[in-house]
Amino acid sequence: MRRMIGLRSLGGQLMLVAAVSLMVAQAINLALLVRGGRQERLSTIAAGAAVTIDDVATRIAAGEPIPPWMLPRGPGAGRRGAPPMLQERNRGGPRQIVIDSRPHFRSGMADWPEMASLVRSLLGSETGVREVRAGRIALPARAPGPQALMKGVRRGGDREAVAVAVAARIADGRWITVRTRIANGGARVGALLIGQTLILFGLLLIPLLFVAWRVSRPLAQLASAASEARFDRHAPPVPESGPQDVRELTRAFNAMRQRIWAMLQDKDRMLGAIGHDLRTPLTSLRVRVEQVEDATLRDKMSATIEEMALMLGDIVALARAGQPREAAALTDLAAMLAALVDDYEEMGKPVVLASSGASSGARPAEPLLRTVRAAALRRAMRNLIDNALCYGGSATVGLVALPGGSIALCVDDDGPGIAEEQIAAMIEPFARAETSRNRNTGGSGLGLALANAIVVAEGGSLDIHNRQPHGLRAQIILPPQS
């Protein structure tokens, strides 16, 4: 699951794109919602203030008495000379009306030209209003009173509000000031939008996660089957699952692997037949060579026949390296290398096993057990050792346990090395580094290619690099095993 939702995976990228798109869409939605809510609040406040100012101005101009619900209120209502203060209720909260010779704004109110212009346009010229001013100030949340607490209101009190005052000067020079308190709904809008976003995330990302799982799971199985393909056995087909496109891809992969398996079987049978057919005339040539009277010529012809037989064996072995017939078995690699070095020492060849101070690495104190095809691996090591003896004069064999569980089987020589730009080409069949090696050393150029094919069949890799100050190191790196 963690691999599936990683940013480099198909599922992770789908979810990331969906999440970013949803966040951008919600941000645009929030901007439009806030703007629309602001315009609606402006229109509501302006309309209410304009209607109140027009009603009061009309009553004053007509000399009508003030209705009972607009009787003076407030602490200074009964004082002589105090301006009449009328109070009414609207949807936005209590609205106060103050009629005086000057506007009645709260201390610290900021001018609100946009509101003043909107109210002026709503009032028109027929009302006799000469001038309109507006102001506003943010108010902190206030605690509920005792009556509100008795009604079960939360102790948190009202939300933060905005105090708004709109003042209009009428024809007789007095100012009608309308003051109101409007609750700030921005926090509520933000909370609603956050909740909506979380719901959309759940409704969108969970199905996307399911779809990504249906797609990535069979793709991961397909990638695993492709990377683990060894073609040394007929592997079962990859199960077809997921969407139709992925099923068709899996079906095509299974068919391709079946065709490759059939081609390899045909190649193996063809090479076996060629090897068998060529050995017969080579044997006949050996018999006829023995009848040559000239000893020097006879020896040269016999050497040529032997070289042809060895080359034929190497070619057949290289072609069959990808399909080994040997079964893998648990092998002590340290004991295998020790026995291999002993064989060379018995033949008088300068091959030694690395000690703790050797450059190839120390032989482990404990056995290193691996499930490998021991005979094929020994042949690969012999090819590397023979190359070291042929071009470097001696060979040092070592075994190194690498970090992460990998194991390296190393062969060092003290020869001239290989030019850096030619190292990659040395693994190709029939390749010989003639510019840096002795041209008269012989060889078919198949040793490294055969060793590389054997190592790849084991799931490992062959690494060749120059040593300092001189010499070459060839090492077989085997991957970790569980």
Per-residue pLDDT, averaged over 451-457, amounts to: 83
Q: How far is CA 312 from the centre of its chain?
A: 49
Residue 451 is predicted with a pLDDT of 84
Nearest by Cα to 133 from 205, 192, 74, 53: 53
Share of the chain above pLDDT 70, in %: 74
Please report the DSSP string for 48-69 in residue order. HHHHHHHHHHHHHHHTPPPPGG
Residue 395 is predicted with a pLDDT of 92
pTM for the whole structure: 0.47
Residue 160 is predicted with a pLDDT of 67
Residue 411 is predicted with a pLDDT of 93
| Token pair belonging to 39 | 């315009």
Residue 134 is predicted with a pLDDT of 92
Cα separation, 177 vs 84, in Å, equals 11
Instruction: Give the lowest-confidence range in 38-47, 204-213, 230-239, 368-377.
Output: 230-239
pLDDT value at 355 more than 70: no
Per-residue pLDDT, averaged over 46-75, amounts to: 71
- CA distances from residue 29 to 194, 445, 480 in whole angstroms, order as listed: 11, 71, 53
Cα separation, 92 vs 178, in Å, equals 13
pLDDT value at 443 more than 60: no
Residue 287 is predicted with a pLDDT of 83
Instruction: Give the lowest-confidence range in 204-213, 267-276, 318-327, 407-416.
Output: 318-327
Q: Is 236 helix (H, G, I), strand (E, B) or coil?
A: coil
Instruction: Give the lowest-confidence range in 35-39, 76-80, 344-348, 408-412.
Output: 76-80
pLDDT value at 121 more than 80: yes
The average confidence (pLDDT) of the chain is 76
CA geometry: angle at 127 spanning 125 and 132, to 5°?
A: 75
At residue 400 the predicted structure's pLDDT band, cuts being 50, 70 and 90, is confident
**366 phi and psi angles, rounded to 5 deg:** -105, 155
Residue 6 is predicted with a pLDDT of 59
Residue 147 is predicted with a pLDDT of 54
pLDDT value at 320 more than 70: no
